[in-house]
Amino acid sequence: MADINVTPELRDAKMPPNLSREERLAFMANRAETIQKLNPGHDMKLDTNWWAPSVNLGYDMDESLDAETKRKVNEATMKMFQPGAGLDAVNTVREELKGLLVGHEDIYKSLESTLFANEKGLQQAQEIIQQKVAAGEFSFLAGAEQKSSSSQ
């Protein structure tokens, strides 16, 4: 897989808080379009709106879960991307999320379809994230951990 060019500003840009569902979708569409323009040799498949399920899930979690449950869900999810995590970690996280989301089956079902539907893709994502973190090129986990601890 060839590297995708992303400017530091784009890489570090955070979605503003308190956006509506539609504003979040538009933010991500704009971000994907910008990345596509920076990488004309890659097909970002913009017409599929591949980001929509994740954006919708995030919005639903913000609207439905209390801060503590959301923090626990985020922490559990991050376990899948820790160094050395493999498909066993995925199964452990899946079970942990079932317990955390009792009463929020719609959110669990969305997590299943966005995170767990494609194990090969998930494994590839784990490998890429771990490589980038090890090389100091990607701060996804550090940012997520920081955000989780600041919401306590």
Q: Is the pLDDT of residue 142 over 60?
A: no
Write down the domain spans for the chain.
1-50, 66-152
Q: Give the SS3 label for residue 29.
A: helix
Q: What are phi and psi of 92, to 5 degrees?
A: -65, -45
Q: Is the pLDDT of residue 80 over 60?
A: yes
> Quick one: 59 exposed, middle or buried, by C-beta within 10 A (0-12, 13-18, 19+)?
middle
Identity at 90, one-letter amino acid code: V
Using the 8-state DSSP alphabet, how is residue 2 labeled?
P
Q: Name the pTM for this structure.
A: 0.75
Predicted local confidence at residue 2, as pLDDT: 57
What is the rounded distance in angstroms from the CA atom of residue 145 to the CA atom of residue 128?
A: 18
Q: What are phi and psi of 81, to 5 degrees?
A: -115, 10
What is the rounded distance in angstroms from the CA atom of residue 61 to the CA atom of residue 72?
A: 12
Q: Is the pLDDT of residue 1 over 70?
A: no
What is the rounded distance in angstroms from the CA atom of residue 88 to the CA atom of residue 51?
A: 26
Q: Is the pLDDT of residue 151 over 80?
A: no
122 pLDDT band (50/70/90 cuts)?
Answer: confident
Percentage of the chain surpassing pLDDT 90? 52
Percentage of the chain surpassing pLDDT 70? 88
